[in-house]
Structure 1
């Protein structure tokens, strides 16, 4: 046999069978005798033959790919979610097809277009994006299982955290430290959707402060289009300009909280000792920033959404809603009011 890539024809010739028999053997299809099957598999191993992805897809009717639809992969949450999802997919013989719908462009994010994924994926995981009714219809038109990570989209399997509870933990921590004027850095991307994390976290801030008789007016809520460190810096400065009396800030994401820490430092205000800051996520840089955070297990959440999709592909059609626990980790950015 000549040097180079081993082809299915090479396996068939060595085994003395047709290429169709080789294909049926590799894909576990009926119609091949046990002795012939073992002979073909042995020669396949000896020659190092690896069937092409496209050939396997044609034979099985499966693409062995799952679509990951998300705003982008540059931010910490999304990067960790994609990496964890890909690991589970590879373990189960699947590839990831990433379809980004940027939410930072002027005029809003790009609309979901099912043609990008049509006939290319066996299932779809939507990561931290809210779909309107039109987009939901387009998603369902693909005819494959779909599930949502972070956003609790009605009618679909959902994996995430209790966002209201996570924000409540942050607020209760600060209130327990004696803080009474607590500003909030929030996101606006999905605020029209009551099931989006940004709105649920805002609700948690309001409910917790109201339960303690504390003010939570619009002048204490400083929104940003996207929950990034840069936007957190801008939102924190706007909040401090309006309400210089704040003694603590809660942010809807750790990245926004990091921006707030920088804004405080630029004003010669020491985070923690003068104004406390708490975020949500469990970012890898929290320790470096000394940031108190309500941590969520992003990688476990992403792995679970893929596991549930694989179960749906295996015939389990139940719509699930699974929430992971969060845990507040205290660091230097939060301190007692009297310690200021």
Structure 2
């Protein structure tokens, strides 16, 4: 029904979108880029490996388990590492470096787990470079992972929108993003909001990773390698907007696969090895031409449109006469005040 490259592109875009939402939300709350975010996907990858290869169960049992594990790790990192460093007045640079250190530790732990499983089992198990396409179901000649991730993305986008616009917690979250000090003065528990955001982003990243081995190869460092695309997606959409992360994630995911495929087909197959140049190029162009991303451009357009509309209203005879009347009244009041 669909060419294989289209299936690859849509599945990859769905996974990048989930990761980009989490990365952007963490940045908005903590005001630092979490460079360990991609490795949360590694937790999901090896959760699926444990379920499908070690326990020989249906791989679709792994997504909820992966979400819970990733969420617990994410919240724990915030409470134990980030909050502790903040108590000692750590700078944003120090906090960013701490996420890089956490990334190294987490990748090392995944490698240790992979080696442990390989050495502790009697049967030969490939704990690196594994893929479970053969375990996936098909519906209408479409792979199950494509259907599942697409439905999940639609549900995730609608849920986040409703949470941010219709719930008290969503309003508290937006207030924390805008100004955490002012939110605290208004009675918002900023620590609780921040903990939940790390809980949610860790869960989403791990959830994304749990689907990855059903179509792509899984390794301890796979999630880490995805960070280039995730970071580029957040910048492209606008790192100050969750909605921008959604747009940027999908655009970059599709572009990375489709452009690489076209280059490999019409120029040289060896160019497929340089796929990472696509997100790096998009990242560079975005930073040079539109640092605020797509949502920043949209916001500027809205502001410009509002300014034009306001000027048009102010130049109408009725409004102009009203403004002149108010100005005369203000001047009269000031003069009377000076006389008294």
- Higher percent of residues as strand: 1
TM-score normalized by structure 2?
0.21
TM-score normalized by structure 1?
0.21
1 or 2 for the larger relative contact order (CA 8 Å, sep ≥6)?
A: 2
- Higher percent of residues as helix: 2
